[in-house]
């Protein structure tokens, strides 16, 4: 496994990097397969600009690297080969402009203001700009438990509750309650959701209805019957 992110803090220059330490090991684990690939990348939150060289050194040389921040002084922190856009991550018009100008993205990291309405608005408006098999990463989701950020335990408006709801939407293929739990369009778009300490990762995976297979003696039979069956306790 790569140690790129774990080893990175000791290699920083004069730009300050601001991350939870355990994200670095997680990024080595989660993103190892992306190392050196030419991709389209977006990070919300520039602060002192310390993450720009980190992502630039990890991704391929032809990558498109876009960063955004609400603080106009961050514009001066752009590096050659990167773009820094100034605007509010909760402003739909700004996010739509970012999408039109620079999308679609393979990786999106939200390390911005960490307020509930910001994380949710950014996800809603940037998710359509995430490419198939791309990852949408939200850092510092512990703010979902902080009232000062609009959070609180089981607070319905928190990002954590929003993300838990995505779990249901992803599984809405399998609903037996078409009225109370209808098929949601995100069932066709979410491949997986990972909850880590303070970090949520949502994978885009454009797909048709899941298929069950039976296989024996090399003969594979595919069926979507499980999605047609209603009133059963289990398909198995």
Ligand X SMILES: C[S@@+](CC[C@H](N)C(=O)[O-])C[C@H]1O[C@@H](n2cnc3c(N)ncnc32)[C@H](O)[C@@H]1O
Catalytic residues: 114
The Cα 229–Cα 209 span in angstroms is 13
Which helix H or strand E contains 135, and what residues bound it?
Answer: strand 130-139
Contact string (CB under 6 A) for ligand X, positions 104-133, x = contact? -------xxx----x---------------
Nearer to ligand X, 65 or 90 (CB): 90
> Distance between the two ends of the chain, CA-based, in angstroms?
37
Q: Which of 40, 82, 89, 143 binds ligand X (CB under 6 A)?
A: 89
Q: Does 46 bind ligand X (CB under 6 A)?
A: yes
CB 129 within 8 Å of CB 104 = yes
Residue 7 C-alpha from the chain's centroid: 23
Q: Does 17 bind ligand X (CB under 6 A)?
A: yes
Q: Does 134 bind ligand X (CB under 6 A)?
A: no
Contact string (CB under 6 A) for ligand X, positions 52-81, x = contact? ----------------xxxx----------
The Cα 45–Cα 48 span in angstroms is 9
Q: Quote the tokens at residue 236.
A: 């198995």
- At its nearest, how many Å lie between ligand X and the CB of residue 45? 3
Q: Does 47 bind ligand X (CB under 6 A)?
A: yes
- At its nearest, how many Å lie between ligand X and the CB of residue 200? 16
The Cα 22–Cα 219 span in angstroms is 45
């Amino acid at each position: 496994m790569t140690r790129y992110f774990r080893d990175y803090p000791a290699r920083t220059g004069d730009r300050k990097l601001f991350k939870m330490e355990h994200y670095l090991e997680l990024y080595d684990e989660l993103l190892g397969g992306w190392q050196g690939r030419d991709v389209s990348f977006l990070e919300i939150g520039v602060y002192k600009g310390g993450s720009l060289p980190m992502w630039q050194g990890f991704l391929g040389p032809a990558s498109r690297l876009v960063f955004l921040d609400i603080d106009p002084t961050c514009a001066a922190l752009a590096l050659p080969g990167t773009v820094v856009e100034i605007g509010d991550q909760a402003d739909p018009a700004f996010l739509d402009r970012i999408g039109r100008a620079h999308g679609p993205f393979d990786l999106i990291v939200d390390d911005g203001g960490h307020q509930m309405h910001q994380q949710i608005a950014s996800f809603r408006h940037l998710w359509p700009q995430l490419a198939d098999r791309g990852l949408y990463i939200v850092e510092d989701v512990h703010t979902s438990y902080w009232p000062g950020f609009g959070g609180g335990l089981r607070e319905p408006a928190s990002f954590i509750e929003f993300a838990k709801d995505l779990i249901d939407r992803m599984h809405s293929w399998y609903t037996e309650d078409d009225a109370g739990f209808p098929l949601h369009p995100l069932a066709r778009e979410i491949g997986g959701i990972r909850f880590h300490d303070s970090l949520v990762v949502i994978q885009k995976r454009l797909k048709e209805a899941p298929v069950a297979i039976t296989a024996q003696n090399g003969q594979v039979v595919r069926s979507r019957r499980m999605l047609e069956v209603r009133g059963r306790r289990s398909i198995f």
